[in-house]
């Protein structure tokens, strides 16, 4: 009986982004630790703008969340926000308390994912910081 290729073919990932998960260590192209993956969002290539990705009015509870810092992600200027929504991104929790702000990495700046480490194509200084 022939084998079913659906069950015997190796898994092929279209991009390194598909291998990323929260808690992974992130290093830049120079090998410097940038932080850990705090969150991620797969991209929407059809998102030409950020329209449609706005938070909806959730009444009183939505207002409370906004007051206490539950801002929309990614929290960056509009042109970069639109790019991140198109390509997908990871949010990096940078080390240090109040010294470093969190950073965002567009999916196309991920060089590789191996083990529990995400390696970037760029240095830490090229990453966009959270507002």
CA dist 45 and 111 (Å) reads 20
pLDDT band at 95 (very low <50, low <70, confident <90, very high): confident
pLDDT score at 59: 47
pLDDT of residue 105 exceeding 90, the answer is yes
**Cis amide bond preceding 14, omega within 30:** no
pTM of the entire predicted model: 0.71
Average pLDDT, integer, range 11-25? 84
Integer CA distances (angstroms), 70 to 82, 115, 118, 120, 123, in order: 19, 31, 26, 27, 28
Do the Cβ atoms of 107 and 119 come closer than 8 Å? no
pLDDT of residue 23 exceeding 80, the answer is yes
pLDDT score at 10: 61
Average pLDDT, the chain: 79
pLDDT digits (tens, 9 = 90+) for 37-93: 999 999 887 765 545 444 444 444 444 444 444 457 899 988 899 999 999 999 999
pLDDT score at 58: 46
Q: Nearest 5°: CA angle at 113, between 102 and 73?
A: 30
Say which residue, 8 or 32, is predicted with more confidence. 32
């Amino acid at each position: 009986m022939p084998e079913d290729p659906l069950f015997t073919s190796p898994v092929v990932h279209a991009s390194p982004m598909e291998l990323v998960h929260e808690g992974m260590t992130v290093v830049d192209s120079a090998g410097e630790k940038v932080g850990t993956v705090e969150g991620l969002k797969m991209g929407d290539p059809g998102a030409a703008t950020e329209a449609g990705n706005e938070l909806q009015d959730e009444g009183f509870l939505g207002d409370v969340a906004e007051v206490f810092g539950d801002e929309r992600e990614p929290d960056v200027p509009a042109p970069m926000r639109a790019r991140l929504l198109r390509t997908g991104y990871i949010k990096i929790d940078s080390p240090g308390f109040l010294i470093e702000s969190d950073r965002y990495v567009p999916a196309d700046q991920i060089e590789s994912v191996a083990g529990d480490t995400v390696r970037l194509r760029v240095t830490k200084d090229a990453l966009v910081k959270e507002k």
